[in-house]
Amino acid sequence: MNAEAPGLIRRAYEVGVRHFDTAHGYQGGHNEQMVGDVIKELGVRDKVTIATKVRAGTVDGYLTALETSLTRLQMDHVDILYCHGPRETAQLRARN
């Protein structure tokens, strides 16, 4: 969450780590950017599981945060999306 060490991500991959977890808010988005840069540099997106977390108060807010995260990660999808802090299930329901 606070690591600014792309080499750590590279080395983790080299020794067999295949699940990388980050979040929209870690280091103001820098962590997602760093994870995305390294995964892209290694060319291993199809070999890893990427998880990220977003926090918002509305469906539109969650979707906006997700789009920002995808841009930072330089990916068209994440494998696991954690939605932090919904106060009621209506916040997670798809828009009509």
Domain ranges (residues) in the chain? 6-92
pTM reported for the whole predicted model: 0.86
pLDDT (0 to 100) of residue 92: 60
Active site residues: 26
Side chain identity at residue 30, one-letter code: H
Q: Are 47 and 39 in contact (CB under 8 A)?
A: no
pLDDT (0 to 100) of residue 62: 87
7 three-class SS: helix
Q: Please give the class, per CATH, of domain 6-92.
A: alpha beta
| pLDDT by residue, tens only, the chain of 96 residues | 667 899 999 999 999 999 999 999 999 999 999 999 999 999 999 999 999 999 888 888 889 999 999 999 999 999 999 988 766 666 566 554
